[in-house]
Amino acid sequence: MNILENLNERLQIVDGNPCRGGEDIVKHVVETSPIPLPEDYLEFLKEISGKTDGQEQILGPELGVKEDDGMLSIYIFSAQTALEIHTEYKIYSAPVYDDIIDMIWLIGNDLGDLLYFYGEGKEGYGLYVSEAGALCFEDADKIAVTLTDFLVKGIGINTALWIND
């Protein structure tokens, strides 16, 4: 299923020009990730990680969620961006992240202080959200089991943005 063509009604693409392709870089994601990644996420990466006509690597789409007080953002990293972020956390981050970075795969953020990642957290395997400054399972909230549940079925949208129901 093409996730972008079936986005939940609460979501819309507000920035980025997703381009199909990038199979080689997605393969590198699989080889680099310290954890197994869901097939729907890998297929999504192939939907967004190609190169533009100018041969520029896509950073990933920014999805917007309309709220009464404006638009909130969910930015999903392209394969290349996810690899770069993983490397940055492995090399440049504070020692406090040394343990968790080997147990998760960062997939996006809210263009602010929230990070989205896959891992085996307190509620089992799935997609979680945590503050960038407190990246740990103890403080993370489970969004959904799969990216399809999240972006197509709308499960966990409020959780992902820490919106109180």
Number of domains in the chain: 1
Task: Name the residue range of residue 47's domain.
Answer: 4-160
In a domain, 51, yes or no: yes
Q: What is the pLDDT of residues 121-133, one digit of tens each?
A: 999 999 999 998 8
Domain-embedded: residue 31: yes
Give the model's pLDDT for residue 22: 83
Tell me whether residue 79 is exposed, middle or buried, using C-beta atoms within 10 angstroms of its C-beta: 0 to 12, 13 to 18, 19 or more.
Answer: buried
pLDDT in tens, 87-108: 888 887 656 667 788 899 999 9
Query: Any idea what the CATH number is for the domain that residue 70 is in?
Result: 3.40.1580.10
The model's pLDDT over 108-156, given as tens digits with 9 standing for 90+, comes to: 999 989 999 999 999 999 999 999 888 888 889 999 999 999 999 999 9
* Secondary structure percentages of the chain, helix, strand, coil, to 5: 35, 30, 40
Indicate the pLDDT class of residue 69, thresholds 50, 70 and 90. Answer: confident
The count of other CB atoms within 10 Å of the CB of residue 144 is: 19
Q: Is residue 165 part of a domain?
A: no
d(CA 77, CA 95): 24
Residue 106 pairs in a beta bridge with 117
Q: Is residue 147 situated within a structural domain?
A: yes
